[in-house]
Every structure is written in structure tokens, then in C-alpha cells.
Amino acid sequence: MENYSLNEEELQLAEMVREFADEVVAPISYEADRTHTLPLDIVAQMGDMGLFGLPFPEEVGGQGGDYFALCLAIEAIARVDQSIAITLEAGVSLGAMPIFRFGTDAQKAELLPDLLAGRALAGFGLTEPEAGSDAGATRTTARLENGEWVINGSKQFITNSGTDITKFVTVTAVTGENNGRKELSTIIVPSGTPGFTVEPAYDKVGWNASDTHALTFNDVRVPEANLLGERGRGFANFLHTLDEGRIAVAALATGAAEGCLEQAIDYAGKRHVFGEPLKTRQHIQFMIARMQLRVHNAKLSWHHAARLCAEGKPFKTEAAIAKLTASDAAMDNARDATQIFGGNGFMNEFPVARHYRDSKILEIGEGTNEVQLLVIARSLGLA
């Protein structure tokens, strides 16, 4: 593994998680994908390793690391299984981080210990049929009535929302109007609350072992104290969460691109065509060289954004650049690796086939690549 200016502690973390990915995650990846099953024993092991607590301070049960450390772990796992990597990413970025950043002391004390130990997962209910990147189009509502929030509406594509260890979902909802504009707030809804329905799991193209559901809220009542952060700050809090999430997804996409590269190099050395290894063909050499180029650029891109984030510096544009660069790299490398594998690349038991299916969502989730271009254009004063 190349250094990429990692310090000794970061190198050790990356090596530890790579070993875990290769020896524990990879052997079960095909079966988990085939059966559309999130292996909770793997989640528990990641919790025991401290991965869910990486970017949190020790006083709340974390490992005392930063967002860069989390992204290193996500990248290492994504090389062999994107479903497990996104489970970790969403569990931290969308589950625990909003509680840590915006929660009250009581909310943190109640919810963070299990989340940071991997004993529980949580979802972030933002996306709706008419509201994705345009969160202002949110239709889910929450009104105060006798000291309770009464929530009505629906969400879709919510990760980690229906597992056996899902503890709650955080829901964005319209809680009023402010100067003629929707007032968006975020509210914690525990699993099992009457009126809160987790709909059947989606039949997805990829990320089959990742838990993803639509959610329905029918007069769901939760205490007024379940408001997360300030009333009316739900959209602003979401934007901060999304910017960090884009770095993590960029790291995941880089891992996917790297996994395809590793698989292509290995296969090109073993596969013989007309009596010679496939790797002796110059066009194969050039394809793999371009794959390495994409991995290198993607890695440098998310590293830069994550360093800025960890240092408390502005990183919005850099996060968009990283997400765009890395998701393109994942898709392009998956396509080229599949081509190198030939017919085997079309068989799901081969990792490159799963990467080919999995990687498309990387150009859509956490803001489409078109949204990333818009963010970059705005930073240049063009939009």
C-alpha cells in the first residue's frame, strides 16, 4: 500500500482494516449480495474494532480520531464490499454524527454509546419522492400538539433504517413557515413508534447487502424533546452533514476503484490468451495504467478534502470535487475491470461484477454528480 503522506498511526489503521476486509468481509460478500442480507455479525466486529467510533472524542465513547481516519477505514472495506462500507459510512455520517453535532446532552448520553460501539444503527430520513437534493421540497410535516410532535409523510431510499439493530431514524420535516419559506427541523423517531412503518426492503441493482427502505409516518407521536438541534435549523444541519458525507462517499468510491484495479492486475497475470498471460497485451497494460491513474487522482482528491475537514477549514468545494472525481473513477474502473475479465466479469460471484453494479449509485447518492458540478461552478462565481 502506498503511503500517500499517512502518518504511522494512519498507516496502521489502514493496514488493520484492509486485513479485516480481505480475511473477514471478502469471503462472505458474494453470499450476502446474493441473499440481500446485511451480515450483522460483521457490523458487530466493526464495532468491536472501534470503526464506528473513529471520528468521535473518547469522552463520548469514541476513538479520539478524526474524519480522515473514518474515511481510511471506509476506503479499505469498499475495496472488497461496498455494501459493508456504506453501512459503516451511513452509520457514522448519517446516524451518529448528527446526534453528536446537534444533540442535547441527554440525547447524546442515551443514543451515542450503542451507535459508537456498533451495537445499534440509525438512519437519516431526508429523501422523499419529490425531495432529494432539493430538500426545500420536503412534504413530511411535524406539528406540536400537547407536548408531542405529530409527524405525517414518507421517506425513501433510507439506509440502515430497517435492521434488527436500528434504534431510530432522524427525520427532516416541515414544522412551520418563516417569512413565507418552509421551516425545516429534524426530529428523532425511535424504531417501533406507533404509526412509524418501515416498508419492505428495495430490490436494488447494487448494494444488495445494504439495508435500504422506504418509511411511512402516519400520525407518529414523539416527545417534543426529540427535536434534534434548533427548530428551523434542519436544512442547515443537513447541509453540513451532506458535505462531510460526500468526502466519505468519495473515499468509498476510491476503495471501489482500487478494488477493481487490484482484481484486474491479478486476473491479467493469471489469465492466458493464445499461450501468453493477458498482461503481456499492450492494450491491457494501458487499460490498467489508466485505472491506476484514476485511483491515484481520486485518493489525492478525498485526502485533500478530508484534511481540510479535520483541520476545521472550509471544504465544501473540495468535497464536491472529491466526490465527482472518485465516483467517476469507480464507474470507469468497474467498466474496464469487467472488460478485462471478459465473460467472468458478467458473473456475480466475481467481485468486479458486483463493483460494476454497485458503483452506479456513487454517481447519484450524497448529491448527484450534476449537483457536484453545480457546487463547483458556484464556487467559481459562475452560477
Q: What is the pLDDT of residue 132?
A: 67
Among residues 121, 140, 160, which one ends one of the domains? 121
One domain for residues 195 and 65: no
Assign residue 28 the CATH number of its domain.
Answer: 1.10.540.10
In tens, the pLDDT along 162-215 reads 999 999 999 999 999 887 788 999 999 999 999 999 999 999 999 999 999 999
Q: Which three cell numbers stand for residue 19?
A: 486485513
Among residues 121, 149, 172, which one ends one of the domains? 121
In tens, the pLDDT along 84-95 reads 999 999 999 999
Residue 1 lies in a domain: no
One domain for residues 83 and 133: no
One domain for residues 91 and 138: no
Kindly give the pairing relationship between strand 166-178 and strand 121-125.
parallel
One domain for residues 67 and 116: yes
Residues 19-53 as b or e (16 or more Cβ within 10 Å = b): ebbeebbbebbbebbeebebbeebbeebbebbbbb
One domain for residues 259 and 226: no
Residue 96 lies in a domain: yes
Q: What is the pLDDT of residue 180?
A: 74
Query: What stretches in the chain show pLDDT beneath 50?
Result: none
| Region at 188 (left for phi over 0; alpha for psi -120 to 50; beta for the rest) | beta
Q: What is the pLDDT of residue 138?
A: 87
Query: Residue ranges of the alpha helices (H) in the chain?
Result: 8-20, 26-35, 40-48, 67-78, 82-90, 97-102, 105-116, 234-270, 282-310, 316-341, 351-358, 369-379
Q: What is the pLDDT of residue 241?
A: 77
Q: What is the pLDDT of residue 273?
A: 84
Assign residue 130 the CATH number of its domain.
Answer: 2.40.110.10
Q: Of residues 148, 230, 366, 370, which has the active-site annotation? A: 366
Q: What is the pLDDT of residue 135?
A: 67
One domain for residues 307 and 295: yes
Q: Provide the residue range defining the domain that includes 62.
A: 8-121
One domain for residues 194 and 280: no
Among residues 200, 232, 264, which one ends one of the domains? 232
**360, 284 contact by CB (below 8 A):** no
Q: What is the pLDDT of residue 181?
A: 84
Residue 198 lies in a domain: yes
One domain for residues 114 and 184: no
One domain for residues 351 and 317: yes
Would you call 366 a catalytic residue per the annotation?
yes
Residue 167 lies in a domain: yes
Residue 3 lies in a domain: no
Q: How many domains does the chain have?
A: 3
pTM, entire model: 0.94
In tens, the pLDDT along 231-276 reads 988 877 777 778 889 999 999 999 999 999 999 999 999 988 888 8
One domain for residues 12 and 144: no
Q: What is the pLDDT of residue 243?
A: 84
Q: What is the pLDDT of residue 5?
A: 83
